[in-house]
Amino acid sequence: MTKEEAPGATEEEQQAQSKKGLKKQQKEAEKAAKKAEKQAKLAADQQSTEEDDFAKDRYGVSAMVQSQHKLDRVLVRVQDLTPAKADQLIWLRARVHTSRAKGKQCFLVLRQQQFNLQALVAVGDRASKQMVKFAANITKESIVDVEAFVRTVEQKIESCSQQDVELHIERIFVVSQAEPRLPLQLEDAARPDGEGEEEGRATVNQDTKLDNRVIDLRTTTSQAIFRLQSGVCQLFRDTLTEKGFVEIQTPKIISAASEGGANVFTVSYFKTSAYLAQSPQLYKQMCICGDFDKVFCVGPVFRAEDSNTHRHLTEFVGLDIEMSFNYHYHEVIDSITDTMVQIFKGLRDNFQTEIQTVNKQFPSEPFKFLEPTLRLEYTEAVAMLHEAGVEMGDEEDLSTPNEKLLGRLVKEKYDTDFYVLDKYPLAVRPFYTMPDPNNPKYSNSYDMFMRGEEILSGAQRVHDAQLLTDRAKHHQIDLEKIKAYIDSFRYGAPPHGGGGIGLERVCMLYLGLHNIRQTSMFPRDPKRLTP
């Protein structure tokens, strides 16, 4: 029974299979026919479009710019496109921020640095269907040249910086094509903290941003941060130059560590070794001895501290000041604080757009300061902390949490984010700090704080070779190593003082950001050496 049935079944199966196979074949044939038909149609279409694409020379990928031609074409900046330019025909070079095709229209958002505006390609007597399709297919971040009419819009375009106008594109050429896949999306990188989580959208973490710094730098926030940073440098230079300071350049490869021995980078220097400068301290002081009177210096500073915190970098830009004074080191404090206030004022008055832009992603309170700057003494600060219930010794250094708490207390009472703390205990300062004449426990040294974090540390320096030797001995420093430094004070040295500011820290704290890597273009820390 089973034997008979089995072949019968197989036969049936075979029959069924062949039936199925037939059907399959039939279907495939149908499919192929359809495909062929479609291809033929497409080809015909293409042919026909190629034939009647009247706008063929109005779009495309232009040849690589190898400087063959020097066109007399004027490229307008995006930020200049206002209703005043309405109905003009202009040329523009910008990046494609986003594109969105919708039937016979294609909307593009064109971006130039922190400014963007909406552009539109629509099928009509100037643009063909193919042109719209081409525009829609331009990859994000590609650079395009666009000829377009500026038109005012009835309703404000909320998503763009130029809200009152849009562009009606006449011609569009791709100058540089971006790869279709970006390692991160600009929208995601520029999204305010917390907002992405609510909407279930992606956010980009700090490390990914830094790994793809070039793209991250294109975000409006980054653009604004580094424009403001440049402003800080500029204002620093301008203010000091006006005060009669001289800008100096100092070597960064030095033979001896200036501040303690441990945290310096050693580099091999032919047959011996050298160090990377922790601060231009010694050279600034030597310039004072060389009768330069008032000097400043903007340049890289290296710290080999293995600390991975939100405010430490291994290489940063130091803004250093050193000046001789007449009778009291407060002349130096006044000069430095005034410079800082000028910087804050300059930023407040000239960089309001940038500040607002950064605030959109990283909201913070506006920076507040007093003029003249508030100066408190160390004992006062200790008293304030005591009153707030902190237990600390009179000659103890301020710990970071105490610094922050003090910052809050000062802000509460005086409503300022910037203040000077004067008269630090001598024991916690470097050997070249001048002791206080009235109380040998204290010193003529000061720190400056922004939003409760230290940005500048300075002091009156010892300009007397003998006292300097004594102080160095007291700190158990090898006199042989700093002989050249001490010797420079033997031949008459004016009383002087100064301090050094970290540019990145100033920017970070002014904008109320939380990580110094945001204000360093290519940050260096113990774990990051690239890009």
Partner 1 sequence: MPMYQVKPVSGSHMKTDLPTCMYALPNVHALQNGEVEPAVKALEARQDEIMRKLYELKAAVEGLAKTVTTPDADLDLTVSSSLSSQSPTSTTFRGITDLDTLLGKDLGALRDIVINANPAQPPLTLLVLHSVLCQRYRVLSSVHVHSSASSVPPQLLSCLGPRHPDSYARQMFQLGFTLIWKDVPKLQMKFRVQNMCPIEGEANVARFLFKLLSPYPSDPAVATLVDSWVDTAFFQLAEGSAKERATVLRALNAALGRSPWLAGPEFSLADIACYCCLLQSASVSSAPTNVERWIKACENLGHFGPAKLHLK
Nearer to partner 1, 367 or 485 (CB): 367
Residue type at 70? Answer: K
Nearer to partner 1, 202 or 383 (CB): 383
- Provide φ and ψ at 207, rounded to 5°: -65, -40
How far is it, in rounded angstroms, from Cα 230 to Cα 226? 6
How far is it, in rounded angstroms, from Cα 278 to Cα 202? 40
Residue 505 falls in the annotated catalytic set:
yes
How far is it, in rounded angstroms, from Cα 71 to Cα 92? 13
Residue 520 falls in the annotated catalytic set:
no
User: What residues from 423 to 462 belong to the interface with partner 1 (CB under 8 A)?
Assistant: 438
Structure tokens at 333: 């404090």
How far is it, in rounded angstroms, from Cα 436 to Cα 209? 48
Structure tokens at 482: 């700093």
Select the span of 57-65, 132-140, 367-375, 479-487 touching partner 1 (CB under 8 A): 367-375
Quick check: 27 binds partner 1 (CB under 8 A)?
no
Instruction: Report the residue from 129, 386, 441, 481 that binds partner 1 according to the rule CB under 8 A.
Output: 386
Instruction: Report the residue from 368, 441, 473, 483 that binds partner 1 according to the rule CB under 8 A.
Output: 368
How far is it, in rounded angstroms, from Cα 430 to Cα 442? 12
Instruction: Report the residue from 305, 377, 395, 453 that binds partner 1 according to the rule CB under 8 A.
Output: 377
Min dist CB 510 to partner 1, Å, is 12
Nearer to partner 1, 123 or 409 (CB): 409
Identify whether 372 is preceded by a cis peptide bond (ω within 30 of 0): yes
Select the span of 49-57, 91-99, 360-368, 427-435 touching partner 1 (CB under 8 A): 360-368
- Of the candidates 312, 348, 514, 524, the residue annotated as catalytic is 312
| Residue 123 CB burial class (10 angstroms; 0-12, 13-18, ≥19) | middle
Integer angstrom CA distances of residue 73 from 78, 87, 89, 238, 340: 16, 18, 12, 36, 43
Min dist CB 530 to partner 1, Å, is 40
Residue 218 falls in the annotated catalytic set:
no
Instruction: Report the residue from 182, 184, 384, 521 that binds partner 1 according to the rule CB under 8 A.
Output: 384
How far is it, in rounded angstroms, from Cα 237 to Cα 243? 10
Structure tokens at 352: 């309001």
Q: SS3 for 51?
A: helix
CB neighbour list of residue 45: distance below 8 Å, 6 or more residues apart = none
Apex CA 375: angle with CA 374 and CA 378, to 5°? 140
Q: Which of 387, 459, 371, 475 shows the shortest CA–CA distance to 423?
A: 459
Quick check: 379 binds partner 1 (CB under 8 A)?
yes
- Of the candidates 97, 375, 461, 505, the residue annotated as catalytic is 505
Nearer to partner 1, 304 or 374 (CB): 374
Instruction: Report the residue from 179, 414, 466, 490 that binds partner 1 according to the rule CB under 8 A.
Output: 414
Instruction: Report the residue from 87, 415, 470, 487 that binds partner 1 according to the rule CB under 8 A.
Output: 415
Q: SS3 for 74?
A: coil
Instruction: Report the residue from 284, 375, 451, 463 that binds partner 1 according to the rule CB under 8 A.
Output: 375
Q: SS3 for 487?
A: helix
Strands 266-269 and 418-422, how do they pair? unpaired
User: What residues from 317 to 336 belong to the interface with partner 1 (CB under 8 A)?
Assistant: 328, 330
Quick check: 382 binds partner 1 (CB under 8 A)?
yes
Residue 312 falls in the annotated catalytic set:
yes
Min dist CB 241 to partner 1, Å, is 24
How far is it, in rounded angstroms, from Cα 313 to Cα 520? 9
Nearer to partner 1, 367 or 449 (CB): 367
Instruction: Report the residue from 371, 470, 478, 487 that binds partner 1 according to the rule CB under 8 A.
Output: 371
Instruction: Report the residue from 37, 365, 412, 470 that binds partner 1 according to the rule CB under 8 A.
Output: 412
Instruction: Report the residue from 136, 409, 477, 521 that binds partner 1 according to the rule CB under 8 A.
Output: 409
Q: Please, are residues 431 and 485 in contact by the beta-carbon 8 Å criterion?
A: no
**Which residues belong to the active site?**
303, 305, 311-312, 454, 457, 505
Binding site for partner 1 (CB under 8 A): 328, 330, 344-345, 348, 366-372, 374-377, 379-380, 382-384, 386-388, 409, 412-416, 438
